[in-house]
Amino acid sequence: DSGVTQTPKHLITATGQRVTLRCSPRSGDLSVYWYQQSLDQGLQFLIQYYNGEERAKGNILERFSAQQFPDLHSELNLSSLELGDSALYFCASSPNTQLGPQHFGDGTRLSIL
Amino acid sequence: SQQGEEDPQALSIQEGENATMNCSYKTSINNLQWYRQNSGRGLVHLILIRSNEREKHSGRLRVTLDTSKKSSSLLITASRAADTASYFCATDAGGNNRLAFGKGNQVVVIP
């Protein structure tokens, strides 16, 4: 058990809709990272938050946004969903901003119909 | 772009055999990490090797790093069926404040 909790585990929705994915980091970790994993693109870094502030941005679409709350949990909001957004979305956490080991949750599988 | 590229992409071996997979990267790094992903689960950190280290061991895992060739290898000795998973290398991508993961290397250990 990594200590990182992601909800929901599965999400099925339609094109054009908006969803929110939630992540609770491992106790004591201040950094939260979001990744998208798909068969054709592999594991893509989306965004990182550290102690409530955006720290690094990757290949995140403008339709996607994230935030980290004072209790350090994070949410990833995906809007105007397209078929191509179907993927596994992972959250990971680490103690600080140094790029050491990251602890991953089991992901949210998003299916767009 | 993908920083790490694993090779081979897929490997099938008998239980008890050793499994070796390689990872190449393009830019300078501070460290390189290997992760395991079981089907439908999140990635699990296995081992981290720093740029000034050449070899590191953890249980049945042995990682080497050759910064002159920009490559790393992961050796799993005496493989078990439970080692069946995808293995990813990740680098700190030369200061971009992110880990860059390779596409993964699927290993199947046949009992």
Rounded to a whole number, what is the distance in Å from the CA of A80 to chain B's nearest CA? Answer: 25
| pLDDT value, residue B95 | 63
Question: Nearest residue on chain A to B43, judged by CA atoms?
Answer: A104
Q: If pLDDT is split at 50, 70 and 90, which confidence band does B4 have?
A: low
Q: Between chains, do A99 and B92 touch, taking CB under 8 Å as contact?
A: yes
Q: Count Cα neighbours of B61 within 13 Å in the Cβ-side half-sphere.
A: 18
Rounded to a whole number, what is the distance in Å from the CA of A71 to chain B's nearest CA? Answer: 23
Residues of chain A with pLDDT under 50: none
Interface of B with A (CB under 8 A): 2, 30-31, 33, 35, 40-45, 48, 88, 92, 96-104
Check pLDDT > 90 for residue B2. no
Rounded to a whole number, what is the distance in Å from the CA of B74 to chain A's nearest CA? Answer: 16
Mean pLDDT for the stretch of residues B75-84 = 97
Of A48, A97, A104, the CB nearest to B43: A104
Q: Between chains, do B97 and A99 touch, taking CB under 8 Å as contact?
A: yes
Q: What CA–CA distance (Å, rounded) separates A50 from B67?
A: 30
Q: If pLDDT is split at 50, 70 and 90, which confidence band does B66 have?
A: very high
Q: Between chains, do A42 and B33 touch, taking CB under 8 Å as contact?
A: no
Interface contacts A/B by beta carbons within 8 Å: 56
Rounded to a whole number, what is the distance in Å from the CA of A101 to chain B's nearest CA? Answer: 6
Q: Is the dihedral of CA A69, A49, A27, A36 positive or negative?
A: positive
Q: Which residues contact A47 (CB under 8 A, 6 or more apart)?
A: A33, A34, A54, A56, A57, A58, A60, A66, A76
Total count of residues recorded for chain A? 113
Check pLDDT > 80 for residue B7. no
For chain A, the C-alpha Rg in angstroms (whole number) is: 13
